[in-house]
Structure 1
């Protein structure tokens, strides 16, 4: 829940960042996305910033880190390669302890974005102008991409359970929740396919219970139950949400479910 108290440490950080940007003649604007833009910020939120500069700093992590260090006392930082975003610096600041993601963009790159952030500061209304001239597009969920992989993934999980690699299977089910089941449940709620973000407060109670049933402890019996629940939930969501042109791989589905029954 958004409150002035939860906003305060972030606002202090933003005020300082704006003061730094004002001094840089090549700084075009600073904007905030994520929970700040949606009004869902709380004391456990991170801060998602978009810094637009006339010069290109990304993907040079040393230059990105040097610029970010001007905003506060930087404890640690790394580039967002693991999420496929080399223009993103993930940073931890102290006093107060804040997680801040800073995306370094040029004006041309700002045209292509997944959301419309709140403009915190800009020079000559340049960010506002770009937002008006372009449309934010969140990457859509690809049902065919998912169907082409899902049954191979389920067979892989079954193999790990059969071999006794229970920790590997547990981690893999978490991957499936984040990449497949969570996004599909968000779509069912008319939301963006954002993994399992805010699942506890976004999904209806029955859907949340179904998703929780895919969470296993690292033992054979629990994993088999959870794997079956994941398959059943996926099949229901796929048949409810996917476009009619989806090419369902019924042969793979049948083969995998039959194999699963042999190791139960």
Structure 2
């Protein structure tokens, strides 16, 4: 049994994508969703910080780890994907070369596409004032990263080759996640083909339906209290 501490963000979607794919393989890993409403400050509760000390979702607790023993908690979405892939034996190549490629692109998403797209979204959608330098900087960097992704997908179905895997699950939710500031994907034909193929998967559709059920207000403008919870928290702001 997996306890999934989740909210309806691109990083949260990564884990439900993985867990729902197991259902379609006929090897489901039972999981319970524990919503962590980051707009209400749930991420700062002591019980959540005990699992995710960086006060970010997602996080999991595996109540039945391999080899038995005490439950194992994991935070950081990339670490969770890797943990679940190793636990289940799915969505990560077993051969050395394939594994290296999958991990390279998983870490590419974690270190590049996710943070840069997040900053793009912040300055285009959430920032209280439009700062031209920031808008230009992050737009160009996300476009550059989309170009890297497009080139990678030019001769393969998925990021690590012919099989769908954790690198794809990590990357997919970060393609154009900000409806009010959508990027033009027309120049990236291979990204569009890959994205459409993942969107059509039944597991993807169930994962996003779950998000809509948990947080029907996703995508709505933030309230002032939500802004306070999400942005500008310094090290002493929770005292």
Structure 1 length-normalised TM: 0.23
Greater relative CO (CA pairs within 8 A, separation 6+): 2
Between Structure 1 and Structure 2, the one with more strand by share is: 1
TM-score (norm 2): 0.25
